[in-house]
Chains A and B, each alone.
Chain A
Amino acid sequence: MATIAFLLNGTPQRCSVSPDTSILTLLREHLAQTGTKEGCASGDCGTCTVAIGEPTAGTQRFTSANACITPAHQLQGRHLVTVEGLSEKGHLHPAQEAMIECHGSQCGFCTPGIVMSLFTLHNDLTQRPSPLTPERLEAALGGNLCRCTGYRPIRDAALLMNDIAYQRPLWFDASQPASKSDSQTTETAEPASFFAQPTSLATLTQLRQAAPQARLVAGGTDLWLEITQRLATFDQLIDVSRVAELLTIEEALFENQTGWWIGAGMTYTQLEPLFEANFPAFAHLLHRLGSQQIRNRGTLGGNIANASPIGDTPPVLLALCAQIELASVTGKRCLALEDFFLDYKKTALAADEVISRIFVPQPVEGCQLRVWKLSKRREDDISALLGAFSYRIEQGSLRDVRIAFGGMAAIPKRAQAVETALEGCTISVEAFRAAQQALENDFQPMSDVRGSQHYRQQAAKNLLERLYISLSAPDHEVMLHAYAH
């Protein structure tokens, strides 16, 4: 058991939790706070949404999270706000008042989660006033399923709440309980069981070497499913989310290329500004990766380490020629990302290593990036397949063609035969027909719950057709507004 100190709705709390306790379990079972509901226990429905505050320049910045898959110990030194905390002395928060006013609840079960997503949006808007665009609304609410209302009244509530007068309670910005300096290993009653929250890479690699069987956790957005869905127990857990070196973005020169070293612990939300500025297509993909709650927690390093064939960022990173840095107590090594993925869920990561950083080269002049994700639902869905296309056009010919797909093989994988078929070619029917043929050499996809083998093969070919049309007839619309960027 580890002891954590945090604020719950402005009140200091000290709790003992086992390493594999989620915030939802902590709230409902240890603290008898049942306002936060469990809908799926897999981070897909948003019913258990809570807000986690970190001090930023004197005020609290609250981000939404799915309590069901967020490790309770990560609350250490943080401020947890739940639906029970929003109303004070009978005064409802504008998010709550607007939901009532707009008839935004029917069965009411998803409502606390929706209210909490609205709360984080409201807090953002009041602290950093900016236009409430449709995209922002969709990002804020896309991770909250409602089976009753059809969302119209919830949209209205989101628009209305900012017109409701509101006095921000002082406790929102209450000071934090003292954070432990470098929270080292918390030994538990049984020595075989421990939970560690290192703050430096040196400590992390030492811990890693000492306990290679321990699981690493960053956002927990995938790992925690092993607990909630497969009933796994984690006796030994190393939390990488506070390791300073993993939380940086650094512009640098590496192997004669300018680019960015991105800390493996950076969340998707934290990466958004960098990608918006330099890789708009990648940024757009992030909007469709999980939900806001997931993007606030999930990390780039986690997405890579997980090595899922349907992870969203690896194909893009492959098309961008990303490098990966692995660290251990003996030092660091770098390898091309494509050499990292070995086989289904098998990677080149050694037992004593951690992923420390990812290098993404700056695109060369004229380089284009297209990222196309296909899924059943536009928001908060996992790819059936994802194609990432990087190229430039020099005197009418395709150059530096790098194409990678997710969902088409056991690993995120480059389409080398397709690349070869297109490299140096003019944009012609013949070249792209050859590329479609070559695709069959690159991939023999499988059928699963997200799509049939036939669909995946045909859809991947159609993405090449889309690329051809967009290059040969740029005036034609080849994408829907909702999907385009």
Chain B
Amino acid sequence: MRTLTKLDGDSSRARRELHDHIQGAGPLARHTVDSKGMRQAGSASFHESAEKHVTGKAAYIDDLAVPADALHVALGLSPVAHGTLTQLDLGKVKEALGVVDVITFHEVPGHTDIGPVFPGDPIFVDQEISYAGQCLFAVAATSLQAARRAVKLATISIDEQPASLDPVAATEREEFVRPTHVQTRGDWQQALDQAEQIVEGELFVGGQEHFYLEGQACVVHPTEDEGVIVHTSNQHPSETQKLVAEVLDIPFHAVTVEVRRMGGGFGGKETQASPWACIAAIIARRTGKTVRLRLPRSEDMRATGKRHPFHNRYRLAIDAEGVIQGGEITVIGDCGYSPDLSDAIVDRAMFHADNAYSLGDAQVVGHRTKTHTASNTAFRGFGGPQGMMIIEAAMDDIARQIGEDPLTVRKRNFYRDGREMTHYGQQVDQRQLLHTLVETLESDSDYWARRKEVSDFNATSPVIKKGLALTPVKFGISFTAQHLNQAGALLHVYTDGSVMINHGGTEMGQGLHTKICQVVARELGLDLEKVRITATRTDKVPNTSPTAASSGADLNGMAARDAASKLRERLFDFAAVHFAEGLDREGMRLEEGMLVAGIGESERRIPWGELVQTAYLNRISLSAKGFYATPLIHYDRSIGQGRPFYYFAFGAAVAEVSVDTLSGEYQVDRVDILHDVGDSLNPAIDIGQVEGGFIQGMGWLTSEELKWNDKGVLVSDGPATYKIPTFGDLPPIFNVALLEGHPNSMASLYRSKAVGEPPFMLGMCVWSALRDALSSLTDYAISPHLDTPATPERVMLAANAIRKKAL
């Protein structure tokens, strides 16, 4: 009998346990208990669209109704990775049934380069082809099928040239999309020269396809002016507004971009949602018709960038205890053909090459290497995970070299008093929190008892080997591009007392809109049902930052809070002079739908509706805008030093795995997580981010393998060949908790912490546990090399190199 979940096949017991969870007796109690009764920030409110999700009423881009004469766009993508476009004959395409318009580079009225930060991303190929999947032309037809079939009629001639696909070789040839950056602290060379011992190693860390379930999509309506209204599945509406305007050569105010929700983003719609909006906008203006553009899955996967694959190396000086004295780490980010966001992504990999450990006197070098693949882009963690992997590899390697448990070595290397400075000059705050968190998890997960069980099991099991590992996460919160750390919000109160909040952040499933509504409800003392949020629009809140870097709630929540408190103070000022003489202005508060104010010895309570009505009749503005800019942060790239992060979020996870060393198959038997979100804004949503992030991180390191053929064409271009975790990959024992009683030390939104990205890196424990299981084949003498993703193929080949054969 196979045991897939630790429910023992006994459904009645499982259901009892679940019932306990929901009733409040179990460990997951607080996420669901009494959730309907708790309505403000800090409570486990449901996702604002939950009911619409489950009934199919939540509309995504492709669900939006369009006029009957709307056009549908299909794209002509380059079949080769590198070469020169010598001929593009679209005669037959134009004549095909249903085709209304065909555009190429030459039909673009304005800017042709839509690089988001640096130039380098042509909207269509002019001559030089830089990756397989690059856009050559677009066809608009009366149906999607007609457009897609017409694309196939193009005659494309390309002078094909060899594609550069090996980032290590390209780095040696110094083929970069941006200059190399270096961070140095102390005399790292001397640390290596004087080392008692040196450990070194290298690691390939694979990329990752976002696999948002809703692919890239937009609908563009032409307006009566020269502009367009763009509905898009998009994390960065303001940037799309800018690029669409520039491509059309019209002012920004002629373009309105709207995002109600995304069917997943994960970073893949930060910069890479814009090209499609630009193309659709050009056709909408040329034809005067509404234009719909949605990428079929395989084209989405070939045309858009992914998480950067990295090749990392380390060389570290350690003492006899395995404590790092100094050394060097080099990270090579495979950026694809253009800069996109790669400068900041490789920077973030460098900022996280220490993870939770003091590197001592160290140099970290980051290369941004050019290859002929799609331009790799933001993905949850933004380079941080790839940077952390090299130091986690080093921790395991050090442990094997000195013959200690990897957890012991990790703890010895944690940032601590006296070792609190990072290699980029930021002091790590809340150092003790990391120690507390890991010690709590160590004890709650029974790490040491299970370590013994694992060793005992392995001693008598020649084929199946168990592995155990605890890995920490320390993740820096803030955009490292300082100017992005700002946000705006727009709050309206209508005369019936209902409240509308808009802000610059976008909803991609992370529960941002829910949290923002909770913030406003809390500030105004209202029930959550009084507060509604609508689509994010560039004409409501302008000049916004992308919803990225885990910053959505931190920044927009503060802006919403600012707007709400401005309005509240205005109402207090009004109430103090209007309702009664002697109302205590200083002590006024809004709670439970009332304005409460002291008056002498007694209290006056004014219902919210009455307050708002009266204010309106007395010509008091019931609208407010809010703004926020993160204080304190700075980073000087010229010297590689500064304080790029407002604070750090912490977490740790323990994984136990079983590995079949003959087949390379493995199963994750148990996972325990303890994660720091400061004072949670919404425990249910935060737990959802922690669990979902963990599973996504685990997928990145295990089954999700991107493969290109030797010509540079992506061959894992659909869910049949690219395998994200599925239901059975959920560990049968999965204990997830939020660290309680440790508010953020910085003045963040209600002392909460960002939660979008940090839990992603908890998945590293699965990879480390796989290495632990493999290491047991050598009685923990060898630290086996295990590139990622650690597919059954890689695990089997790693085991085969070191195991004793029965035959």
Contacts and interface: CB of A to CB of B under 8 A. Distances in A.
Interface in B53-69: 53-60, 62-63, 65
A138 B727 contact: yes
A379 B55 contact: no
Centre residue among A137, A143, A147 by max chain B CB count within 10 A = A147
Nearest to B46: A100
B739 interface: no
B212 to A, nearest CB: 6
B695 A156 contact: no
Nearest to A291: B726
A231 B149 contact: yes
Interface stretch (A33-41, A174-182, A193-201): A33-41
A445 to B, nearest CB: 13
B721 A449 contact: yes
A229 B264 CA distance: 23
Nearest to A100: B50
Given A40-B719, A468-B807, A35 B684 contact: no
A155 B730 CA distance: 9
A149 B684 CA distance: 11
B692 interface: yes
A469 interface: yes
A142 B728 CA distance: 6
B792 A449 contact: no
A135 interface: yes
A372 B9 contact: no
B297 A108 contact: no
A311 B691 CA distance: 34
A137 B213 contact: no
Contacts of B4: 134-135, 137-138, 482
A444 interface: no
Nearest to B5: A134
Contact of B7 (A99, A134, A378, A382): A134
Contact of A105 (B2, B53, B729): B53
A485 B666 CA distance: 15
State the main secondary structure of chain A at its contact with B.
loop
A40 B727 contact: no
Contact of B263 (A109, A376, A384): A109
Interface stretch (B15-23, B239-247, B742-750): B15-23
Interface string B91-115: 0000000000000000000000000
Given A106-B510, A109-B214, A134-B5, A34 B719 contact: no
B807 A231 contact: no
Given A42-B718, A44-B718, A478-B662, A92 B726 contact: no
B720 A481 contact: no
A102 B33 CA distance: 10
A481 B9 CA distance: 13
Nearest to B31: A103
Given A37-B263, A131-B9, A455-B796, A105 B50 contact: yes
Contact of B805 (A45, A92, A145, A465): A465
A451 B53 contact: no
A466 interface: yes
B716 interface: yes
B54 A477 contact: no
Query: Contact size class for B?
Result: 35 or more
B509 A42 contact: no
A376 B703 contact: yes
Contacts of B725: 150-151, 377
B463 A105 contact: no
State the main secondary structure of chain B at its contact with A.
loop
Contact of B19 (A163, A459, A480): A163
A423 B685 CA distance: 60
A482 B3 contact: yes
A147 B297 contact: no
A346 interface: no
Nearest to A450: B721
A434 to B, nearest CB: 10
Contacts of A229: 298, 718
B117 to A, nearest CB: 26
B663 A131 contact: no
A107 B508 contact: yes
Nearest to B151: A231
B498 interface: no
B664 A153 contact: no
A34 B726 contact: no
B266 interface: yes
Interface in A347-386: 372, 374-382, 384
Given A44-B719, A145-B724, A152 B730 contact: yes
A126 B115 CA distance: 56
A151 B665 contact: no
Interface in A33-72: 34-42, 44-45, 47
A95 B54 CA distance: 9
Contacts, number: 333
B55 A83 contact: yes
Contact of B11 (A38, A104, A133, A463): A133
Contacts of B57: 35
Given A108-B261, A477-B463, A231 B696 contact: no
A481 B3 contact: yes
A138 B728 CA distance: 6
Interface in B654-686: 658, 660, 662-667, 684-685
A378 B511 CA distance: 31
A456 to B, nearest CB: 9
Contacts of A464: 807
B720 A44 contact: yes
B715 interface: yes
Contacts of B22: 101-102, 156, 160
A235 to B, nearest CB: 14
Contacts of A144: 726-727
Interface string B21-55: 11000001001100100000000101101111111
B667 A458 contact: no
A92 B55 contact: yes
A108 B727 contact: no
A142 B730 CA distance: 11
Contact of B148 (A96, A231, A376, A378): A231
Interface in A147-190: 147-156, 159-160, 162-163
A213 interface: no
A115 interface: yes
Contact of A147 (B53, B213, B691): B213
A115 B54 CA distance: 7
A41 B691 contact: no
Contacts of B736: 152
Contacts of B21: 156
B792 A374 contact: yes
A111 B53 CA distance: 6
A306 interface: no
A484 interface: yes
A132 interface: yes
A69 to B, nearest CB: 11
Contacts of A374: 663-665, 792
Interface of B: 2-5, 7, 9-12, 14-15, 18-19, 21-22, 28, 31-32, 35, 44, 46-47, 49-60, 62-63, 65, 145, 148-149, 152, 210-214, 261-266, 296-298, 461-464, 508-511, 658, 660, 662-667, 684-685, 687-688, 691-696, 703, 705, 707, 715-716, 718-721, 723-730, 732, 734, 736, 791-793, 796-797, 800, 805-807
26 contacts: A34-B59, A35-B55, A37-B214, A39-B719, A42-B297, A82-B56, A103-B688, A105-B47, A105-B49, A106-B47, A132-B11, A138-B5, A138-B727, A138-B728, A147-B210, A151-B695, A372-B663, A436-B807, A458-B800, A459-B664, A464-B807, A468-B806, A478-B660, A480-B666, A482-B3, A482-B667
Given A449-B707, A479-B464, 8 more contacts: A107-B213, A109-B264, A137-B4, A137-B5, A138-B5, A144-B727, A151-B727, A466-B663
Top 6 A-B residue pairs of the complex, sorted by shortest distance between their CB atoms: A35-B56, A107-B509, A109-B263, A108-B53, A150-B695, A106-B509
